[in-house]
């Protein structure tokens, strides 16, 4: 592991946002809040990250956005994702 902060290891700067989203998998949907986003990934706030599988879809209705994603990290209520 490195001592370099995560924000400095990202290949792209993320834009801070506050948008509603829905994580979908296996016919289920979990509401989330998108806290930051780039062309390659995002950070999402969720009620319980343990409910989120390693791969899922993210929809942001306000932006007419849908993407396949994979979880990169989670800390219980916030998850970092990369877009496939």
Read off the pLDDT of residues 9-49 as tens digits, 9 standing for 90 and up: 556 788 999 999 999 999 999 999 999 999 999 999 999 99
What are the domain boundaries of the chain? 15-83
Q: What is the mean pLDDT of residues 2-6?
A: 52
Indicate the SS3 state at residue 27.
coil
Domain 15-83 is classified in which CATH homologous superfamily?
A: predicted glycosyltransferase like domains (2.40.10.220)
CB 30 within 8 A of CB 44: no
pTM of the model: 0.83
Task: Quick: pLDDT tens for 43-71.
Answer: 999 999 999 999 999 999 999 999 999 99
Asked if pLDDT for residue 1 goes beyond 50, the answer is no
More reliable by pLDDT, 4 or 42 = 42
* Nearest residue to 63 (alpha-carbon basis) of 24, 14, 22: 22
């Amino acid at each position: 592991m490195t001592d370099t902060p995560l924000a400095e290891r990202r290949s792209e700067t993320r834009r801070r946002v506050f948008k509603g989203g829905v994580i979908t998998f296996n016919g289920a949907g979990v509401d989330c809040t998108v806290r930051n986003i780039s062309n390659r990934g995002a950070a999402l706030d969720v009620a319980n990250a343990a409910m989120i599988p390693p791969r899922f879809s993210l929809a942001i209705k306000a932006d007419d956005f849908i993407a396949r994603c994979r979880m990169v990290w989670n800390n219980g209520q916030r998850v970092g994702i990369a877009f496939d």
